[in-house]
């Protein structure tokens, strides 16, 4: 019966079906912090991803040992949800090929995604993806490893629409600090702060272009870090603006204490959630035909919005009524 159809089946066609990424992408480059992050993920569940960092995390001269350690973490039983990825060195770096080969060769099936930093063009993204896919083939890895791209150079921002359209790309992240550095001192230090990064016109423009490009290609836009990790009010305000004003659906964390703050900021309010539940249930009861709810007409266009709000509540670990969990998220 049509009324029993799951919202995903009733409201979206096959090309629109996707599994949204967790809201938080937590970065760590030191082994002790990797272990703590894996422990926290085990406690909270797969409401955040972990990215093990080979680029900034590896000590100079110790790249080989670092990548081997990261591969071991990926294969560890501590990676219990399969939501751990890795950031490799840029394509232009001598360690890129060795990073990719070691991670894919030793832990390709266990890796959730691979992050590409500092591409300067679509051509660089294409070349990196070609090397990654050749490595997957060489090592007999059958899954298509999702690729995330860091937009942090002038060239990548110029071609962000084309990069977002690349079929191998799952997510675009904004690299705030490298982007500011690329302006050779013309952007003041204040623009790196939790508040300033939203008010400086060049940074706001970059964030909006990345977000728009990602959404236009049904990819996930991931917001940059807030470095004032002890200032939870500033972090919450920044995360709220990233989600509600700049349309980001994911955000970086660089300290375990930031994870829950970001989850809370990205979660819908109780009032929003209650409204979404009522509208989705009423629509489903009417076999997804138009309905009137509190003197407002709703149809499939608004049903999609309210369903996506419910999904966001689920992805942020929001407490949902048991009947809603069972009806819509029992398979997760």
Q: Nearest CA to 311 among 267, 274, 278, 253? A: 267
Domain extents for the chain? 24-266, 269-329
CATH architecture, domain 24-266 = Alpha-Beta Barrel (3.20)
Q: Which residues neighbour 73 within 8 Å (Cβ) at sequence distance 6 or greater?
A: 31, 34, 35, 38, 52, 79, 84
Tell me what pLDDT residue 16 has. Answer: 56
Measured CA to CA in angstroms, residue 202 lies from 66, 67, 114, 199, 215 at distances of 35, 35, 28, 9, 20
Tell me what pLDDT residue 12 has. Answer: 85
Q: Which residues neighbour 169 within 8 Å (Cβ) at sequence distance 6 or greater?
A: 125, 147, 148, 149, 163, 217, 219
User: Tens digits of per-residue pLDDT, 87-138?
Assistant: 999 999 999 999 999 999 999 999 999 999 999 999 999 999 999 999 999 9
Tell me what pLDDT residue 315 has. Answer: 87
Tell me what pLDDT residue 187 has. Answer: 96
d(CA 21, CA 82): 12
Tell me what pLDDT residue 330 has. Answer: 81
Q: Would you list which residues are annotated within the binding site for Mg(2+)?
A: 152, 178
Q: Sort residue 287 into left (φ over 0), alpha (ψ -120 to 50) or beta.
A: left
Regions in the chain scoring below 50 on pLDDT: 1-3
Q: Would you list which residues are annotated within the binding site for substrate?
A: 87, 152
Tell me what pLDDT residue 230 has. Answer: 86
Q: Would you list which residues are annotated within the binding site?
A: 87, 152, 178
């Amino acid at each position: 019966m049509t009324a029993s159809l799951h919202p995903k089946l009733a409201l979206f066609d096959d090309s629109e079906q996707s599994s949204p990424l967790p809201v938080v992408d937590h970065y760590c480059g030191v082994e002790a912090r990797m272990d703590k992050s894996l422990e926290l993920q085990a406690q909270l569940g797969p409401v955040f991803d972990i990215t093990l960092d080979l680029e900034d995390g590896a000590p100079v001269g110790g790249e080989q040992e670092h990548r081997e350690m990261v591969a071991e973490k990926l294969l560890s039983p501590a990676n219990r949800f399969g939501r751990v990825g890795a950031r490799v060195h840029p394509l232009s770096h001598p360690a890129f090929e060795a990073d990719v080969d070691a991670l894919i060769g030793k832990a390709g099936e266990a890796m959730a995604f691979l992050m590409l930093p500092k591409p300067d063009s679509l051509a660089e993204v294409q070349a990196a993806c070609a090397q990654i896919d050749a490595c997957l083939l060489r090592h007999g890895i059958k899954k298509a490893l999702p690729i995330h791209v860091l937009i942090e150079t002038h060239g990548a921002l110029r071609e962000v629409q084309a990069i977002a359209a690349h079929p191998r790309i799952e997510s675009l992240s904004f690299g705030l600090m490298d982007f500011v550095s690329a302006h050779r001192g013309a952007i003041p230090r204040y623009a790196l702060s939790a508040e300033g990064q939203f008010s400086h016109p060049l940074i706001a423009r970059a964030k909006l272009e990345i977000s728009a490009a990602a959404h236009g290609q049904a990819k996930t836009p991931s917001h940059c870090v807030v470095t004032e990790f002890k200032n939870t009010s500033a972090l919450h305000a920044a995360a709220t603006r990233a989600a509600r004003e700049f349309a980001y659906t994911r955000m970086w964390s660089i300290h375990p204490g930031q994870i829950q703050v970001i989850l809370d900021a990205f979660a819908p309010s109780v009032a929003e959630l209650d409204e979404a539940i009522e509208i989705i249930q009423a629509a489903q009861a009417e076999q997804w035909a138009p309905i009137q709810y509190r003197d407002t007409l709703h149809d499939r266009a608004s049903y999609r919005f309210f369903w996506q709000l419910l999904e966001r509540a689920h992805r942020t670990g929001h407490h949902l009524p048991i009947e809603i969990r069972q009806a819509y998220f029992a398979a997760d």
